[in-house]
Every structure is written in C-alpha cells, then in structure tokens.
Chains A and B, each alone.
Chain A
Amino acid sequence: MATKIYMDNAATTPVRDEVFNAVLPYFKEFYGNASSVYSIAKESKKAMEKARGQVAKGIGAKPEEIYFTAGGSESDNMALRSIAESLGKKGKHIITTKIEHHAILHTCEYLEKHGYEVTYLPVDEFGKIKLEELEKSIRPDTILISIMFANNEIGTIQPIAEIGKLAHEKGILFHTDAVQAVGHVPIDVTEMNIDMLSMSGHKLGAPKGIGAIYIRKGVPIQPLIHGGAQEKRKRAGTENIPGIVGLGLAVELAVSEMEVETKRLVHLRDKLIHGILETVPFSRLNGHPTERLPGNCNISFTYIEGESLLLLLDAVGVAASSGSACTSGSLDPSHVLMAIGLPHEIAHGSLRLTLDRNNTEEEVQFILDKLPGIVQRLRDMSPLYEEIANKKA
C-alpha cells in the first residue's frame, strides 16, 4: 500500500517546497564553481555566503564559524577525529554517552583502536545524563566532551547549557551532535558554551547529502577530507551549492516558525502519546515526558515485536520505525532502549512515530483509531500474551 501518513520524520523529511524552488536555479542556471573568478561563479559564491549567514544566525554563531559538509555523519566524524588528532598530545580521553548516534559511537570505537580512551556515560530511565557523573568522569587528560543535543530514538533533550558550562569551567572542548535538534529546539551556541555542533539538512526539509559543522573560532580543527582550499582548507571538495542554499533556507524557515510550530507539534505529540497509552494496555512511553523533541513519540508494547508492528502499520499506509532487533539488522534491540534500562522483551516491541510540519490532527486520529486493533492482532498471535491472558482468565 502507498504511504498515506508519513511519521518517520526523524529518519528523514521531504524537501520543503520553498527550499525546492530556491535550490533549482543552482543546478542549471548558476552552476558555476564557487572557486572560479567569472561572474556565474560569483553567483554561487554569493549564494553560499548567504546560506552560511542563515545557518550561523539560526544557532547564534558567526558565519565564519560554519563549515559545510556532506551531512551529520561527516560532521560528527570531523569533530571527534580532528580534535583527537589536534589534541592527542595533550590527552587521549574523550567523554560521550551510551545513547549517541552510531556516527559518534563508531567513531569513538575507531579512536579506541588508535590509542584513545572513551568514557560512555550512562543515562537515567528517561535518557538523560547526570551532570555529577559527567563531572566525575572528567580527567586531566580529557580533551573532548561529545554529548548529543536530542536523541534520535526517544527524543530526550540533554541539559546542554549545563554541560557546556561545566566543560568550559574545566577547560574542555564541548561538541554536540545536534542533528535532531537544529530547527526543532532553540539553540544558541554562545549562551550554551558549545564549541562544535553537527547538523544535517535532510532532517529539516533540506535535501539529503548536505550538512554543516559549527566550529567556534580558535578551536584547533583538522580537515577530514584533504584536497582543495574550500571551506578555509578545512573541508576539501567543490561545494554542493544547491544543498548549501537549501540548508541555509531550511534553517532560516525552521527557526522563524519554531515558536508556532512547536506549540502545534507538542499538542499533536501529546495527543498521540496519551491516546495510545490510554487505549493500548501494557504500553509505556520511552524517553522524557516533557523534555523531549516536539515531534517525538516512542512507545513500547509488551508481548509484541516491532517489525511486525511496522509491517501492519505499513499495510494501512503508515510509515513509522522501531528499535527492535529485526529492524536494526542485528540481533540486539536498540542500544538507546537498552541504555534506559528496558528489558529485551519491551525493547523489541517499540514504535517510534516522529511528527513534523506536514503531519495533521486527522493523521494522529487515524493512528489512534488503527493502532489498538493492530497491537491486539499481534498479541493474539503471541505466545507471551497467551500466558498473561490465561492468568487473567
């Protein structure tokens, strides 16, 4: 069945109409290489610098502190690997959390193989780190703290300003993976003492394959990709002008609409969460009840498995995601759900619905109407539910 309701906006979003229209001229009309001197190239250069300003303004940075990349994963890799390289002589200890995106976790594992030590902070039942634990884990050889702004699976928002303050008091650089947060929650890198921040375009209505990293002036960064002199020699490669234009506009639009859109999304999110918890027995909310992304709903249903749930939702035209092992390509359920202390049987039965600007009240109601029957259908097939049903009878 064709997808009627798309509620997997944490995975990716459709390109916004305004963005689509704005990027089109940069494919065939203003196609010049921004490094060249002729007039058509100047258009590219001009558009790129405008976008740099838009991105910077969106997070409270200066334009010269924004470097365009191919996406969130590249930005995360660049932050960790280049700080490890620049400050490796000073120390080899990095602090992160157990619930980071794999772009951070796998880069940390890579660095561990190359002589670095990484502390993976635990999180509480809501997915938040404890500042005391962060403070305790800081060592004289700690060179970097990298903690995600908001979690992609359960939506929990970390106390970023407090983390930034602590990092700066201790003189340690602070990077945050803000791929899920940019354009969705207010960010001010100066107020929050953030030294580096990763973002991705396609999570907020810009095309895939474009991202950026904010690097505070003075932070010793190294290029991940060597080559030409683009991005002040920090990121080689001919600039993706259409992507850059799209990212700039998408950030500007998202930030300008944030106040109104957040109210609308929080209303829809809470209607979805409370509606599901009230109508489906043996269900629980994953993540923090209030300190979570405006569009994130993550709920576990005991006695059923997530992939089956996604297939049945797809059959009624709903696109969603799950943290079950069967959808991760491994045999273990999501590391985030395990980190918040869910037992395997509950982690396997998780459903993530992520709302964005295109979702409506009617769509939320459709899911509230369909979901209880779908969950029951799977429970009627489940040997685990049979035991519970027999006990009750």
Chain B
Amino acid sequence: MEYSEKVMDHFMNPRNVGVIEDASGIGQVGNMKCGDIMKVYLKIEDGRIQDAKFKTFGCGAAVATSSMATELVKGKTVQEALEVTNRAVMEALDGLPPVKVHCSCLAEEAIHAALWDYAQQNGIEIKGLKPPVNDVDELHHGEAEEE
C-alpha cells in the first residue's frame, strides 16, 4: 500500500487543523472500533462557508481526507459544499489505496454532519442533506480488502 504525494503532503502538513470556538455547525463521525474519528467545525455566514477546521484521530488517509475535505468546502455555499463527495476528495488527493476508501467516505460524512448540525440549529432545511450516518465504516466494510 502506498500513498500518493498529495496524500502524504496533506498528512505531513495538514491544512485547517484546529477548532472554531463560535462554529455554526459541528459534526463528528466514525467510531473507536474501526479507529477513525473525525470532528469538523464550520463557520457559515450568509449561507457561505467562511472557515472550516478539523480534528482527526486516525491513519494517514484519515488525516489527509479531513484536510482536503475542509480545504474543498471553504468558500463554498452550503449547497455547493454538498457536492464535495468522497469521490471528489479522493480525486483531489490523486487517489487512495482501496483499503482507505472508507476514510474519504468518513470525510464526506463529517462535512455533512456539521452542515446538518448547522441546519438544525438554525431551523433551516438544506436540500438533499440527510441526517448523519455515524457508522460509515459499517456501510463501506465490503470495500476493504484483505492483505
């Protein structure tokens, strides 16, 4: 298994690590069993994501996808942010090893969870946004390959 240069860059020099004290929405996904937990903070003003931060417990791919996903949603409207899918995150990182695809799903889900939190707090509905799934790894278990 080998990571792309982009994955290594985002792991070694992760963008947007930290917390936003007055976040508009916070989302945490993943579980201890699989060993990946991502927490995303979003600052949203006038329907646009002004800032995004994360904290992640996980492998190199988990850190890199958190970094890239927060990077991709910054400056986007809430609707545009929904289009930042796990595929988009993976492509921006020049791909992930097959066993690490679930990390990109987790990153997408973490952004969605933060948006969901924002929507709940403000009593608004974001078109196409579903309640967060916490156990992303269960969903994507089948994608993991044995060594």
Contacts and interface: CB of A to CB of B under 8 A. Distances in A.
A344 B33 contact: yes
Interface string B121-147: 000000000000000010001001111
Contacts, number: 83
A324 to B, nearest CB: 6
A304 interface: yes
Contacts of B14: 381
A102 to B, nearest CB: 10
B88 to A, nearest CB: 22
B57 to A, nearest CB: 4
Interface in B21-38: 28, 32-38
B147 A328 contact: yes
A344 B99 contact: no
A237 interface: no
Nearest to A384: B57
B141 A381 contact: no
B28 to A, nearest CB: 7
Contact of B58 (A305, A329, A380): A305
Contacts of B36: 305
B63 interface: yes
A329 B61 CA distance: 13
B40 to A, nearest CB: 10
B12 A386 contact: no
A326 B11 contact: no
Interface in A327-342: 328-333
A386 B141 CA distance: 28
B95 interface: no
Given A330-B146, A381-B17, A386-B19, A308 B60 contact: yes
B55 interface: yes
A380 to B, nearest CB: 8
Contact of A382 (B28, B56, B144): B56
B44 interface: no
Nearest to B12: A315
Interface in A281-297: none
B62 A330 contact: no
B59 A308 contact: yes
B39 interface: yes
A381 B37 contact: no
A337 to B, nearest CB: 12
A349 to B, nearest CB: 9
A331 B63 contact: no
Contacts of A381: 14, 17, 55-57, 63
A331 B34 contact: yes
Contact of A383 (B33, B56, B100, B146): B56
A305 B57 contact: yes
Nearest to A102: B147
B56 A326 contact: no
A345 interface: yes
Contacts of A312: 12
B144 A383 contact: no
Closest 7 CB pairs of A and B: A329-B147, A326-B59, A307-B59, A383-B39, A383-B55, A348-B35, A382-B57
Interface of A: 303-308, 311-312, 315, 324-326, 328-333, 343-345, 348, 380-386
13 contacts: A307-B60, A315-B12, A325-B34, A326-B58, A326-B59, A329-B99, A329-B145, A330-B146, A331-B141, A344-B35, A345-B32, A383-B38, A384-B37
